[in-house]
Amino acid sequence: MPGRTFPPLPVRHHSPPPVDDRPSTLSHSTNTPRFNLNELIFKLKNFRRSKQQRLPLIEDDITQLCAVARELFMEQPMLLEIKAPVRVVGDLHGQFHDLLKILDHCGYPPQVSYLFLGDYVDRGKNSVETITLLLALKVRHPLNVHLLRGNHESQSVNRVYGFFDECKRRYTVKLWKTFVDCYNCMPVAAVISQRIFCCHGGLSPQLKDLSDIRSIQRPVDVPETGLLCDLLWSDPDRYGFGWSPSDRGVSYLYGRDVLEKFLQKYDFDLVCRAHQVVEDGYEFFAKRQLVTIFSAPNYCGLYDNAGASMGVDKDLIITFDVLKPSERKSHIRTSPTPPESPN
């Protein structure tokens, strides 16, 4: 089914993103792994052909991978500057086979550049495989794979919602701590071609200037309040205005008036975020000034939701690829409809 394209955002001329197809020796890193990175990626990509529910990975290999990825994150700013074209992916929550479907349909790096918005682990059955593949792709193609931190990439959250238990059951608590140390160094926001602001959760009353994001020091755990917390935890308010306490008990809700002021101040056209299950995999808010993307269909086996990813082409025209729950064993289709919050 042909996909619907949306009117382009105002275009600022830019060149295509650089393609990073360097050898897997990773000589640019002081933490060069002693394992074959390409072989690890190959095993993970072909995991679907196995009858096993989980892929036996070597703990030492994962530990080395985390060390190299951590170094790459520390070399990047907290606020990434990314050039279109790029594909944006929302929450995955350990649904590894759905990640593979997205990559199979949309293409693998470096041919396609990706921005992932966080929440890679917890609740799903294959959190270790999910985060390991993403880190491996980041290390293999650092200029074409961008990983932002979600609220589940924190010790206090994934200690409770499944990732700790999965690491402890399959490997060791030490490996979980290694992952957490890596998460503590991830960037938390990105701007696509100077027009689209991306983060996991949303806006913050503590955000006075974009330099506030850049100045967040790492490594850092996610605090209970403040700018870093809000970027990972806040949600748009469908019905209210201004700032109000979030029903989650953490961070805030922000109204469309807050969103509009933010866009005007920084000359952005769109806020792209994740963090919430939406029925169609993506959902607009405030006259298409914000979009929520959720990429885990049939979330937890309880929600009859679709999963989606968003493509941004070189002219800043956006499209959405949607994986319906009923199609998880068939194909991803391109969505023909643009849902919007009743707002």
Do 150 and 119 contact (CB within 8 A), yes or no? yes
Please state, in angstroms and rounded to a whole number, the distance separating the CA atoms of residues 91 and 76.
22
Q: Would you say 233 and 246 are in contact if contact means Cβ atoms under 8 Å apart?
A: yes
Sheet order of strands, 333-334 included: 145-147, 114-116, 86-89, 307-312, 318-323, 333-334
Residue of 152, 200, 275, 331 marked active site: 152
DSSP of 78-147 = SEEEEPSSEEEE-B-TT-HHHHHHHHHHH--TTTS-EEE-S--SSSSS-HHHHHHHHHHHHHHSTTTEEE
Residue 70 is given by DSSP the state H
Q: Which residues contact 25 (CB under 8 A, 6 or more apart)?
A: 32
**Beta partners for residue 254, in sequence order:** 236, 243
Please report, in angstroms and rounded to a whole number, the separation of the first and last CA atoms in the chain.
Answer: 29
Q: Is 105 a catalytic residue?
A: no
Which residue(s) pair with 46 in the sheet? none
* Maximum Cα–Cα distance across the chain: 54
Which residue type sits at 59? E
What positions carry a catalytic annotation?
152
